[in-house]
Structure 1
Amino acid sequence: MRTKTLLFLLIGLTSHFLVEAQHNFEKTVFIRAENEPLKQILHSLEKQASVKFLYTNQIISRQKITLHKENIPLSHLLDTLLKPLAIDYQVMENGFIRLTKSKTTVPVSGGLAAGSPGKNQSSDPKFISGSITDASTNEGIPGVNVLIKGTLEGKVTDADGKFSILVDTASILLFSYVGYLSQSIKVGRQTHLQIALSADNRQLDEVVVTALGVEREKREVGYAMQMVAGEDISKAQEMNLVNTLAGKIAGVTVVNNPSSIGGSSRITIRGERSLNIGKNQPLFVVDGVPITNELIGSSGRNNQEVDYGNGAGLVNPDDIESITVLKGANATALYGSRGQNGVVLIKSKTGRRSKGMGVILSSTFTLENPLRLPEYQNVYGQGINGIFEFREDLGSISWGPEMNGQLVKQFDSPTTNGFRGGDVGNLHAQIGDIDISAQLAERGEIMPTSFLSHSANVKDFFQTGITTSQHVAVSGSNDKAHIRLAYTYANQRGIIPNTDLKRHAVTLNTGYKIGSRLNLSLSANYSKSLSNNRPSLTYGNENLMFYFIWMGRSVNMRSLREYWQYGKTGVNQFNSSYGAHDNPYFTVYENTNGQDLNRLLGNISATYRFSSWLQLMLRAGTDYVDEFRNRKRAYSSQKFPKGSYREEEILLQETNVDFLLSANKAISSDISLSASVGGNALYRKIKLSDTSVPQLAIPGEYSLMNANVPLEYASFHSEKKIHSLYAFTQLGYKDLLYLELTGRNDWSSALPAHNWSYFYPSVSVSAIVSDIFSLSPHINFAKVRAGIAGVGNDTDPYQLASVYGPQTPVQGTPTYTEFNFIPNAQLKPEQSRSVETGFEMKLFQNRLAVDVSLYHTLSKNQILSARVSNTTGYRTRIINAGKIENKGLEAILTFIPIQLKNGFTWTTGINFSLNRSKVRELYTDPVTGQKIESHVISTRYVNIQASVGDRMGDIYGIGYQRVSANPNDPYYDPSGKYVGQIVYNEKGAPLATPNLIKLGNYNPDWLAGWQHTFSWKNLSLMVLLDIRKGGKLYSHTQTIGREAGSLIETLEGRTNGYDLNLPGNGVVGKGVVALTDAEGNITGFLPNTIKLPAQEWHTALTANRRILEPMMYDASFVKLREMKVSYTFSKRLLPSSFLQELTFSLVGRNLFLWSKVPHIDPETASTAGGTIIPGVDSLALPTVRSYGFTLSVKL
């Protein structure tokens, strides 16, 4: 009922725009051409008649046209204009007109009715009927244009593909429809025609979106770019838009931050250019307006990280027409200081292509479950050193006895007084002194129960996630206006109990033409995201995976569902152990992280056309985010024994006002010129406020008024402006050679006045080799391109002088604290210089397409925080430093191996890329003068470090001490016999290196996406494989799982229990023991023979978490990223003529994973302070596998 009401409301709001359109082909136009190229004349007619001409440049005459016509129907003008040039035109649906070279009339094929035209035919008029079908499906095609050649008379086929028209025997009928090869048939004596149209796979000149939203023919562009259609985005059925790009764009790396619902993703294009790990993501632009893509972290004050999502992920995939990725500096130079890391252009659906009114309804239902969970051992249960332990506050790990059903006193065992073993009152020391003996006496004596394995205890905790999405869109257009109004409601229940995400999205995109010169347009997107609970992340007792890795394998998860102790509801949680972690059900139902986010993204623009070659565009756009978060922590939480409550308010706003004056005019018959000048004014504001109740006065009452101690406050406010002027021009020579020049100057308020102005130029060229030279007939198109450009990246505000921020008042007195960095009043923007070259080819009737790019980028003046001595009173100093080199290769291949006459087609496409980034230079310490050769970028268990001469993304940590071939090393082996082997101490434990060593690099060796599409009649199958080769990952899951005795690997050394005298028990490390003299000098080595008990061995492997080398893994993987099976029901099978199209699809995402990394998805990442850190697993939540169906209806 609500859907119907909404639909009627949308129709009512838009009905005044959606009157039946006049046939644009009959619209009155004018032409005042004085020696102008045909291409420029067609462009003028497109604007006047709201049509779009489709043609290849090869058929457009380069001679100049002089023609004057006033108030003439477009059809008459095209006859006058094109016939002398031997150009035919075919009118198609939605305002498209295809131009082709005139060709000889085609005789009637064998598929036509009997009767051939004779020499002496009558010219008497007669009715002729016919049926037009798809050659591959034999189904009727509605809407085919049937035109009598040389006249304006014609018909359009009905819903079944049938027509009837009055002709004479000498007439020639033209049959045309978008996406099909046209046919022309002499009528002759025939009275009925049976026409079969074949799909048209010829490549028209592709129109692409470039910087600042300017549309151009792809053949003219001198740099690499790649587009993904909106259909390929929405069919992924992924809540986060960024994730849908994985595997689809060459050179793009997407790292997901698993959070089970609507989490953030990190996207980089062509590697890492900045030493600031959080400043390597591209700029996102929606309909010409940049948007915020901030990931505002939420941690501190004893809280763990929570991923609330980032800006780009909130864009609704159902409203996207296309996404274009601008990769290199030549493509992004017009974005100046914001274009260093590439640009993602998002174009919204507008309704311009709708003919009359159209309604689309779609509904999606998907189920989700964990893609991969750790593999736990299920032999040994809760305890320590082979002995069962449950002493209220100890014994949580799985180094206990074998689980054989023996009777033991457990946390969920009943007691003599009707309680459970874990009902022990409040034992947390921070609560206060409580008489434990009295609590235990009240509980009663625990009655032993069977000690058994619960192999599915972790799996049992997770639930089947459910996501539903309802989408309705009403759109339409006529010669004056267009509109699209859409609403989407998505509701996601996470795989973790009591986690959810609801999202409402309303989109309006409309435009109106005033007279023949002025166009107005409005785009507005409002979304509201609501979540009662988003899960906590990273290592710590608020993360569920922390509990699962530490809990005893004998724990029955079902026993924890009643998470309050009997008689202690709201005050004391019930748990399997009270030493370090919270009951997982207590965590998800009581310790919640709520969110209420409102976002308005939109722009309004006006375009005034002074003449056929000159226009001015004015535009204002904004991205406004208002977000409220709350964190509730219940009484008896491990970190908050007295509970706590926290509120955060976040305001992000970015406003852009810009103009663009554009001219497009031919200089001569051979040279074309387009030129534009423009400017942009950016204003950006961020306001954060954070208020916390450290302890609750009343349990379960979450309010800032319910504070047992003084409130804690923090706030932040920043503003930033960038003013810009830019210009670009393109010269074309005979549609064969193109030269493009661009320049942009930025003035940034975040930089000092003497350094705030910077210029970013670019030059690119392209040549259509296939038109310049006579190549093999198998080569349909060939183009080479090259360019050089400069882009940059400025900094955040308030890096130039000391800054003070408000803190919690002291005894009612306001306090301010200086930020802990040394400012730099001489800062310069980061700069990148890039050289790029490439080629494109289409072969074998466009069935094979190849696009290859090579690039080299050098980035300097990196803005980073360099560590300083603690004696300075600061932690870091803001400096310009470093040179980072990036070079790489991208290859895109599209191939149609099979294309049969029965309609079966197999299309395959491969995106391949590799990137190598190297640190060429760092900086000199401004105080000591020392040349710095290494810089720590991030520390989370391992160090992400940049070292001169090495790659960006290197991972450093403590490793194993090994026998060396270096005479200066204390562990030098002159014989060379033991070089490279691990050295063990006298107890059989491996020794650690004294310093950090390089353990690997998180960047992959190469990436590939391999997509296959199989289609036959109305049935299609799409499969996308996402492939990563190389790169390293540190697994904290493995480190902790070994220590806790919970992972499958910990069965090594306790095959037969814990008695070292039994076979299979204990572990002897592979390596050597050093022999020493009386003074401790190493004199030689012998093989290690010392056996360690299993528990000691698995802890010694990492030297109590110091040695990280054994937990490094090859992060290569192959994922079945997407799969979709669709069937579109033919119109004759639909129950109502009101239905134009019905499509049913089965969809799946992240269906399978092939990887050698144990227990976790190697695509995982960690989070620190709102920054996603690749190459580090911090007990990540599992990646989600989803599968379901979509039903789409077009009315």
Structure 2
Amino acid sequence: MINNNLVVISSADIPLDNITVKGRITDEKNLPLEGTSIKIKGARSGTTSNANGEFTLRVPAHSTIVISHVGYQAIEMVIDKEETITVQMQPGSKALDDVVVTALGISKEKRALGYSTSTIKADVIGEAGSPNVVTALYGDIPGVKIAAAPGGATSGVSVIIRGASSINYQQQPLLIIDGVPARNGDFNSNSGRIGNNGISEINPEDVESVTVLKGAAAAALYGSEASNGVILITTKSGKGKKGFGIEFNTYYDEDRIAYMPQFQTVRGPGHMIDYSTLHTGNINASNENGLDPEGWDHVTYNGTTYRSLVKSINTGGSTTPNLYFGPLYDGKPTIYWDHQVRPYLPQKNSYADTWQTAHNQTTNIAFTNNTDKTTTRFSYTYNHTEGLSLASRNDKHTVSLNNTFRLTPSLTIQTIVNYFNWHVHNRPTGTGNLLLGFGGMLGPADNGKWYRKAYKTSLGYKYVTGQNTNSLTPDENIWFGNLKNGTIDYVWDRLANNEDENENRINGVIKADWKINKDFLFTVRTSTDFTNTLTYNKQRSAIPLSLGNSGGYSVGTFNDEIYYGDAKLNYTKDLTKDIGLNVSAGYTAQYEKTLNNSISTSGGLSVENKFDLSATINPVSASSSQGYLLKDALFGIVDLSYKNYLFLEGTLRQDRTSTMPPGNNTFYYPAVNVSYILTDALNLPSTFNYLKVRASYGLVGNYPQQYISNVSYGLSSVGGYPYTTVNTGPYGNEYIKPERRHEAEVGVEGQLLKNRLGFDITYYYNKITDQITNLTLPYTTGATSILQNAGALSNAGVEINLNATPVKTKNFVWNVIVNFTHNTNKLLSLASGQNEMLLGTFDGEVAYKAKVGRPLGDYWAPTIYQTKGQNTINTNGLYLLNYQQLQNVGNSQETGVGGFRNTFKYKNFGLNFSVDFKLGGSESTTALQWLTALGYTKNTLYAMDAAHGGLSYYQVANNGAIQGVQTNATVGPQGQTVYHNGMLLKGVQQDGTPNTVVVSSPYFYRTEFNSGDASLSSVGPTQGDLEYLYVSKNTYFKFREIAFSYTLPTPILNKIHATNLSLSVFGRNLFYIYRTIKDADAEQFTSASGYGFQNGSPTSNMGNTNPSSRSYGIMLRANF
């Protein structure tokens, strides 16, 4: 009888000695569960189920056995007689004795762990068709912050675990696949193309589980590579159904551009008053280079006169073609820059039409076969994606083979091979040109579709501007104003030029387990992760060869190789009835090699569009680089247990690395953790089904990158003879040490109310010392800087995970998981005498700093200069800023992140949805600031006229400055024109008198939010940009994904010889429930790195990302 996860097997005849219990364990679909743990409660004795889910165990009469498996609810069974039983496990994250994968691929019972881990299973990873493994984990793991670069399947993803851990060096976690290291690292966006990293290439369809080791104690066995945490990916092995099986999955989804800036749709391009006169003092020019009083130009084209938005290009007319302070939209015929006559109206999808709808099709088929001696899974996955960026697509083929051979009862061999073939055509391009360049910002009167038609001439050459410019097709020259060069150049680059990548990656593992006797187990393992990437870049000839040289061609080959091996001897012994001992010792070695070669034409192509190196005009340009890394380690593990409720583990690792000189390249990383199961040790109230406390301490590292510690000198020559010169760059340091992360954590976890409510709470504190930084040196030393260990960071935080089953009936189950993390980061110290470090600047007017006593990533900016406690206004009516006393206007690190996931199941219907959130943390929203400067955004409608709050004024000249004078009259005292778009800024002049100077609203927005009018080195009260107003708090709650599914009933499945067949619809990145940044995707600002800084450079703006998108799709899964 099974009741509330307690199974009682009774009989009138009860033996008094040990009895044998046999059984078969299945999952919720009645498939065998291999590797299920069956143990006697309160003792270490136990066994695991085989590939058929079967087990045999000798137990004392009247004893209780505990059956547990990763991702399933544990079951306790009271055994009173010899019996053969069948137990069906039920999914759930509330298992009492989950078996989890830990460092070095070692599986351990979760109850024995003295540190926090989080594991996500395949069903969560694959339920909403996520393009990569990590993006499926948004909001699901406490202590982990995920930031994916918009751009789809080809873009990288950043993972930050328990706060920032380094000022200048990589913060990405170590990636382990099937127990061995794999290529990962930070992703980059070279040449404007959005790159990827190793973890984004892993096929989600082949992943069984993802486990995150967050603390130093959990990751200490990885030593110098574990300062940023560890992600353990276990691939599917095919264990489960006995005999032959087939798994099939296919899904299709579309991505549509989302979260666009909210443009104003009231007025279009232009300026009613010549912007330049506000600088020259020429108040006689009342329009823009001859525009009529309403702001229109008039041009003649093909014998007909039309009104035009701004002056034509070849007249040298408009100085401000991108400003949107012009005429109101009226729907009347107007000639546009592409020579087309259209109604003068705002375009519905002006910016969005610069992109395309993305399509993604993924199909996976896997074959499994389980016998008494072998377990095999072969999988093939094909993925085709058409990206959001124009002409962006990729085709990816993935093959996975996982074999386990039981050669003898004591010897098992496992081989795992994963092969990736990936062709990427035109990676997505970042929006830098489109949002961070005044020449490319596409306003609401424009439309991306027009640029897709006009980017090239009918002969295939690049567009030509100006009436008098040489061209083979002069009638097609673009000579009307308001053309956005940045946009049309972007379209040319996307549609005319081609950049192709062909990547082949293979990672494989061979592992042997030799059970020497009942106490000793020897494991040896070797692996490789090899990636070869070939790139071809074809730059189309932009002009005819008769008019000049253009075009180009380059090829490159890039190899990344990792070779790894380890060996481990394990000794297990019950020292007494109550005390168990497990000791392991081992050795690991790893060799990494990179080889990069590229060659390109120079000076253009001698034959138009001949993409061959032989077509170079000048000698070809070539480059080559290579790098090597060797590291090895010795490690030891000691586990002690007492009555299966008290566990103590100690580990030690000795590392050596070639990144530092011999004699200074050996380091030690100890760790210890303890776990105490209170419910087994004490007589607690029955409310508690499971209660555990734990504590741990560990030390891990982050060694310097290859070659940076080397002391090197440059070569120069005199009269052709080389000689060694001084080092005019950074100077190495042969005594540099790894950054070291000391971390302590305590936690409590439990299950209550018959396992209907669970919790896992962790407090941690880490201190990262010996920060590797560069100390600036005077040039007289012969170097610009020297590498040093100086500085320390700390993170302190709380991680909370709650799980509950609020409703559970025969036909309906509701499960909910909630997690939350609060982290406080602090820079404890820098080099002696140094109190702050400049990480970078935004637009030259916002400093991004690391300051002692503060979290990393402070924004410091000039604010408005104060005179007698009031804002100070200059003679032209604008604010003066104080550049001598910068103020802290925000910090990029959030105060909390988290999420919650709900799962509903009614009979054969399922509904899952998740929400994640971020609390606080500021971002420099530079793009939104510049859109304001141009008059694109809705807030710039304020003061556009009297109806919108504008003041009436006329202009006078005063000591070389143009000043607005407020008036109620219809004309100025000397006949001056009266305007109605004035603003009077509250404050005083520098002499303390109240401000009376009225400025036009276009002048205010264009000047106060412009790009870099001053700099941080400015002295005294200076007119600058109010950039600090666009350092914005970034809090959001996002409805991340939803999936609705239907599974065929078991009787129907049996008729078609299937074990599962389900159809689902899903959506991802759907909408914001709440956000403080309204005019963009709140995640877009931190997608390049976890905290807006990467290798010393600020990245928390919309510089080089792609637009975000919503995804909608349909999925079919079947098992036979």
> TM class, shorter-chain normalised?
0.7 to 0.9
Which residue in the other structure is 1:1019 paired with? 909
State the one-letter code of the partner of 2:1101. Answer: V
Alpha-carbon distance in structure 1 between the residues aligned to 2:417 and 2:662? 36
Cα shift at 1:1067? 4.8
1:504 and 2:397 matched: yes
Summarize the Cα distance change of 1:203–1:326 in structure 2 as closer, same or farther, 3 Å threshold.
Answer: closer
Aligned to 2:876, which of 965, 987, 995? Answer: 987
Contact 2:912–2:1044, Cα closer than 8 Å, also in 1: yes
Aligned to 2:89: 179
Q: Secondary structure at the match of 1:536?
A: coil
Partner of 1:483: 376
- Please give the alpha-carbon distance, in whole angstroms, between the structure 2 residues aligned to 1:95 and 1:1178: 44
Change (3 A) 1:204 1:984: same
Q: Distance in 1 between matches of 2:929 and 2:68?
A: 67
Give the Å deviation of 1:1120: 0.8
User: What residue number does 2:41 align with?
Assistant: 58
CA contact 1:271–1:886 (8 Å) conserved in 2: yes
Q: 1:265 offset after TM fit, Å? A: 1.5
Q: Which amino acid is the alignment partner of residue 1074 of structure 1? A: Q
Q: Does the 8 Å contact 1:247/1:1008 carry over to 2?
A: yes
Task: Tell me the distance in 2 between the aligned counterparts of 1:90 and 1:650.
Answer: 49
CA distance change for structure 1 residues 378 and 86 in 2, over 3 Å: closer, same or farther?
A: closer
Residue number among 247, 256, 259 corresponding to 2:139 in the alignment:
247
1:944 to 836, 848, 871: 848
- Look up the equivalent residue of 2:942 and give its one-letter code: E
Look up the match of 2:1008: 1101
- Structure-1 residue corresponding to 2:1059: 1140
Whether the 8 Å CA contact 1:802–1:819 is kept in 2: the answer is no
How far 1:454 moved relative to its partner? 2.1
| C-alpha distance 646-943 of structure 1, shift in aligned 2 (>3 A) | farther
Partner of 2:508: 602
Q: How does 1:696-775 map to 2 (within 5 A)?
A: 696-697=604-605, 698-775=607-684
Question: Deviation of residue 788 (structure 1)?
Answer: 1.3
State the SS of the aligned residue for 1:774: coil
Do structure 1's residue 220 and structure 2's residue 112 form an aligned pair? yes
Out of 1030, 1038, 1041, the position equivalent to 2:931 is: 1041
SS at match of 1:479: coil
Paired with 2:53 and 2:952, the residues of 1 have a C-alpha distance of 95
Q: Structure 1's 877 and 201: CA in aligned 2 closer, same or farther, altered over 3 A?
A: closer
Aligned partner of 1:1157 among 1072, 1077, 1080: 1077
The match for 1:357 is 244
Q: What is the CA–CA distance in structure 2 between the aligned matches of 1:664 and 1:1096, rounded to whole Å? A: 79
Please name the residue that 1:336 is paired with: 223
Alpha-carbon distance, 1:1096 to partner: 1.5
Of 774, 788, 794, the match for 1:885 = 794
- Cα deviation code 1:815-846 (max 9, x no counterpart): 99978321112111111111111111110001
Q: Secondary structure at the match of 1:1187?
A: strand
- AA at the equivalent of 1:455: K
CA RMSD of superposed structures (Å): 3.7
Partners of 2:786 and 2:244 in 1: how far apart? 60
Query: 1:390–1:675: structure 2 CA closer, same or farther, 3 Å change rule?
Result: farther
> What are the superposed Cα offsets for residues 183-202 of structure 1, whole Å, 9 maximum, x if unpaired?
xxxxxxxxxxxxxxxx9998
8 Å Cα contact 1:396/1:551 also seen in 2: no
Alpha-carbon distance in 2 for matches of 1:462, 1:324? 36
Residue 531 of structure 1 aligns to which amino acid in structure 2? V
The reply to whether residue 649 of structure 1 matches residue 536 of structure 2 is: no
**Counterpart residue number, 1:553:** 444
**Could you tell me how far apart the structure 2 residues matched to 1:553 and 1:815 are?**
59
Unaligned residue ranges in structure 2 (runs of 5+): 1-16, 26-31, 274-294, 296-308, 465-476, 954-969, 971-977, 1015-1024
> How far apart are the structure 2 equivalents of 1:365 and 1:293?
27
- Which TM-score applies when normalising by structure 2? 0.82
- Show structure 1 runs of 5+ residues with no match: 1-34, 44-48, 66-72, 104-148, 153-173, 181-198, 415-447, 925-930, 964-970, 1077-1083
Q: Is the 8 A contact 1:1020 1:1127 kept in 2?
A: yes
Distance 1:871 1:537, change over 3 A: farther
- 1:869 deviates by 4.7
1:855 partnered with 2:764 = yes
CA contact (8 A) 1:1028 1:1116 kept: yes
Q: State the TM-score, normalizing by the size of structure 1.
A: 0.77
- The answer as to 2:571 corresponding to 1:663 is yes
Partner Cα distance (2:639, 2:66) in 1: 29
* Contact residue 219 and residue 768 of structure 1 kept, 8 A: yes
Tell me which of 1122, 1126, 1134 is aligned to 2:1041.
Answer: 1122
CA distance in 2, matches of 1:983, 1:1039: 22
Which amino acid letter does the alignment assign opposite residue 858 of structure 2?
A: D
Structure 1 residues 652 and 661: alpha-carbon distance in aligned structure 2, compared to 1, 3 A threshold? same
> Are residues 1:961 and 2:864 paired?
yes
1:1031 and 1:397 mapped to 2: Cα distance? 32
Aligned partner of 1:334: which letter? L
What are the superposed Cα offsets for residues 779-798 of structure 1, whole Å, 9 maximum, x if unpaired?
A: 11111111111111111111
Q: 1 CA distance for matches of 2:899 and 2:163?
A: 17
CA contact (8 A) 1:296 1:1170 kept: no
Q: Choose from 516, 519, 528 the match for 1:622.
A: 528
* Residue in 1 that maps onto 2:983: 1068
Deviations 1:578-629 (A, max 9, x none): 7555354323201343222111111111111101221111111111111123
1:1092/1:646 Cα in 2 relative to 1: closer, same or farther (>3 Å)?
Answer: farther
After superposition, where does 1:62-73 map in structure 2 within 5 Å? Answer: none
Residue from 580, 593, 601 that aligns with 1:693 = 601
- Contact kept, 8 Å, 1:534 with 1:592, in 2: the verdict is no
Alpha-carbon distance, 1:50 to partner: 11
Q: Distance in 2 between matches of 1:253 and 1:860?
A: 22
SS in 2 for 1:917: strand
CA distance in 2, matches of 1:815, 1:499: 48
SS in 2 for 1:582: helix
Map 1:490-569; keep pairs closer than 5 Å: 490-537=383-430, 539-540=432-433, 543=434, 550-564=441-455, 566-569=457-460
| Alpha-carbon distance change, 150 to 743 in structure 1, aligned in 2, over 3 angstroms | closer
CA change 1:624–1:217 in 2 (3 A) is same
Q: Give the whole-Å Cα distance in 2 for the aligned partners of 1:281 and 1:95.
A: 30
Could you tell me the percent identity over the aligned residues?
Answer: 26
**C-alpha deviation, 1:86, in angstroms:** 4.9
CA contact (8 A) 2:44 2:643 kept: no
Q: Which letter does structure 2 place at the counterpart of 1:389?
A: V
Q: Give me the whole-angstrom Cα distance separating, in 2, the residues matched to 1:829 and 1:861.
A: 7
Equivalent residue, structure 1, for 2:1022:
none
In structure 2, how many angstroms separate the alpha carbons of the residues matched to 1:1027 and 1:884? Answer: 25
The alpha-carbon deviation at position 1048 of structure 1 amounts to 2.5
Residues 269 and 816 (structure 1 numbering): CA distance in 2 closer, same or farther, change over 3 Å? farther
Does the 8 Å contact 1:472/1:487 carry over to 2? yes
Instruction: Pick from 920, 928, 952 the counterpart of residue 1030 of structure 1.
Output: 920
Kindly tell me: are residues 378 and 285 of structure 1, through their superposed partners in 2, closer, same or farther at Cα, counting changes over 3 Å?
same
Deviation sequence 1:391-435 (CA, Å, 0-9, x none): 226554133322324555432226xxxxxxxxxxxxxxxxxxxxx
Per-residue CA deviations over 1:717-741 (Å, capped at 9, x if unaligned) read 1111111000011100111211100
Alpha-carbon separation, structure 1, partners of 2:896 and 2:1040 = 17
Residue aligned with 1:932, SS? coil
Q: Compute the displacement of 1:261 (Å).
A: 4.5
CA 1:1053/1:231 → structure 2, altered by over 3 Å: closer, same or farther? same
**Using the alignment, how far apart are the partners of 1:205 and 1:717 within structure 2?**
48
**Residues 56 and 204, structure 1, Cα contact 8 Å, conserved in 2:** no
Would you say the 8 A contact 2:351–2:443 is kept in 1? no
For residues 385 and 643 of structure 1, the distance between their equivalents in structure 2, rounded to whole angstroms, comes to 41
Take 1:499 and 1:50, find their aligned partners in 2: how far apart are those partners?
43
- Distance in 1 (CA, whole Å) between partners of 2:420 and 2:834 is 47
Could you tell me which residue of structure 2 aligns to residue 138 of structure 1? none
The equivalent residue for 1:1007 is: 897
- Aligned pair partner of 1:590 in 476, 482, 496: 496
Partners of 1:768 and 1:352 lie apart in 2 by 31
Distance in 1 between residues matched to 2:203 and 2:526, nearest whole Å? 21
